[in-house]
Amino acid sequence: MENCVFCKILRKEIPSEIIYENKKVIAFKDLSPKAPVHLLVVPKKHIASVNDIKEEDKEIVGELFLAARNVAKIAGIQDEGYKLAINVGEGGGQEVFHLHVHLLGGWKNVKKL
């Protein structure tokens, strides 16, 4: 997808802080984090949203969740817990139309001011 920002990131055409990558999935830091840990877990195949997942994408969706679990471990928040969120469509708050899972966490060990 020519103009998709996440496709550009996975083609390394625009910079990002990549923290995990395998054959099917990439994960990088969200540009404007809404949590102490805020990563985006993204399939390398361009699928616009959950509404656009096809039967043939079943395996990719599984890979996406396994990668999210692995990334939580890498980020050191697997045991304390975290949130996975997927916004679907404009009404669901989706801004980038390339399927992605938000991995949010790290609140437990944040120092209170």
Place of tokens 């656009």: 52
Site for Zn ion contains 5 (CB under 5 A): no
In the complex, what is the shortest distance from the CB of residue 30 to ligand AMP, in angstroms, rounded to a whole number? 5
If the CB atoms of residues 29 and 46 are measured against Zn ion, the closer one turns out to be 46
Identify the CA nearest to 75 among candidates 13, 9, 30. 30
Annotated catalytic residue, options 38, 46, 98, 100: 100
Stretch that binds Zn ion, among 26-34, 44-52, 55-63, 81-89 (CB under 5 A): 44-52
Stretch that binds Zn ion, among 20-28, 36-44, 46-54, 65-73 (CB under 5 A): 46-54
Residue 100: active-site member: yes
Q: Are 20 and 64 in contact (CB under 8 A)?
A: no
Concatenating the DSSP letter of every residue in 54-111 gives -GGGHHHHHHHHHHHHHHHHHTT-TTT-EEEE---TGGGT--S-S--EEEEE--TTPP
Q: Which residues bind ligand AMP (CB under 6 A)?
A: 5, 16, 30-32, 40, 87, 93-96
Question: Annotated catalytic sites, by residue?
Answer: 100
